[in-house]
Structure 1
Amino acid sequence: MPSCEYCGKEFNKTNNVQKFCTEDCRIKNHNQKKKRTIKVMKCEYCQKAYNNGTARQKYCSEKCRINAKARRVAKPTIKKECRVCKKEFTVEGKSRNAVYCSEDCRKQRWKSRLVEKNCANCNQPFKAAKRTLCCSTECKIEYFDTRVELNCIICGKNFKTYKSRIEREASQKCCSEECYRESRRTGKRINCYCDSCGEGFYKAPSLQEKHRNNFCSTECMGTFYSESGLFAGENSPTYFGSFEKHKKYYGPNWLAQRRKTRRRDNYTCQRCGITEDEYGQQLSVHHKVPFVMFKDYKEANLLDNLLSVCEPCHRKIHSGKNHPTKYEKQIL
């Protein structure tokens, strides 16, 4: 067992660096090395004698130091008179603002301030403070609730909503978000009528302003356009003239030239690089100079004038100024 470096007694170590058996031996050894003299002094709090290890030590222990500090900081006790029972009581610390001597006096004072009145909602008598209007939380919620009762246009369920929201044509005619979405799908919330059959349905106001006509289905749209001729004949944006002038037939050698062009281009789109295997169908063959510009089909179908492209790329080529509707009619 190790021995203390100051008194020589054997002791059990509590850690690997311990050299002294007690704290007193450590302090005495330290003072001996520093050539300090140990003085016997009185503690400023408990007035007990103790050995002073340092020049600034005033208390015998940490407990005395804390108690002395609490005595210095603590505010003096105050004597007060209770507002209810008129008895004298003392307060100190945080409770120095107290005006009642006990909890019973405080409750008695609070009850004396209660006033008898009738509930603003259910009209039942009750006791409460002057500012209180309702007898319970349920009555308070019902009294200040300004919502109006409505029936859902989808499920018929009774629900409440605010008056300001009824004026809007938003989802406040439905009890929930699900019913509102159902109203848009089923058309029960009608704000538009079909120009073909006259049936009411829902359509976004922005789309109503954008479109000239409104239809409830694709069938009604087709029926209306076929009967009115709105996009037929000269009204069609793809109208070239009569069928006799429209050069839709590319000549007797067209299919052979078309096969040669695809074989020459290795069955690959010359714009985006997709192959026929990836595309899933045969590629289109494009006339670099439009077919309608030629008088002879052989000149129009020369391999130098043909190009293999996929249909999306073909549409891009014929967009804008290259659209067939932009060709001058005198060429036809």
Structure 2
Amino acid sequence: MRIHHSHQHDAPLPNRTCNGCGTEFYDAKSRLKYCGDCNPNTGENNGNWKGAKDVGACQLCESEFTYYPSEKKGTYCPECVESADGLLPQNSTTKNRVSVSCLYCETTLEVYPSRAETRKRGVFCDSDCYGAWLSENIVGENHHQWEGGDFDYGQKWWRVRREALERDDYTCQHCGISKDEIGRNPDVHHVERVRDFERTEKAHTLENVITLCRSCHRNVEAGNVRNLRP
């Protein structure tokens, strides 16, 4: 219902009621007690209120600039910080970093040594490179759910897969991301594993498959998301 409402009306269903005015509103984490108009921590009461900025003088160019009082006292104006390109101690962007290559696309990255040392599978540019690397390398006996042997999904699978995508409007049924946002067709996941069926064809039913984006699919396969049904 929430996914349908979001796509049809371009807005999520309200899930909270304001304690101040009684207006219903949506909060992604379902924690807020007040809407934006009634929140006692907004406006002048918020340390980051845009009208509460202080004025300081840059120690390099002596020009005046504004900063939020919740931040440390301003030392350099934004223009001087940007032109310093990481040379100032307060804006050191490359200090103590090492150069490594993305394990998938081989792009050179500047990372902290701790990141390079703790990533057991290597360092990647982003989740796309990591996902592509997983798809090519964590397969067969290298996959945590590998049980040995090869099997054929059969021709019925492609028909059921297409029907599942159409039924789910080419949208991930866990996070709600669409085909257009992904840039390709989402995955279609078997709720009950194909290997658990005596006949492969019996696993390929609309009641046993659900559309997921690649990220959610990996989380489901890893056991991080449970009780997901079409």
Scaled to the shorter chain, the TM-score interval is 0.3 to 0.5
TM-score by length of 1: 0.27
Bigger-Rg structure (1/2): 1
TM-score by length of 2: 0.37
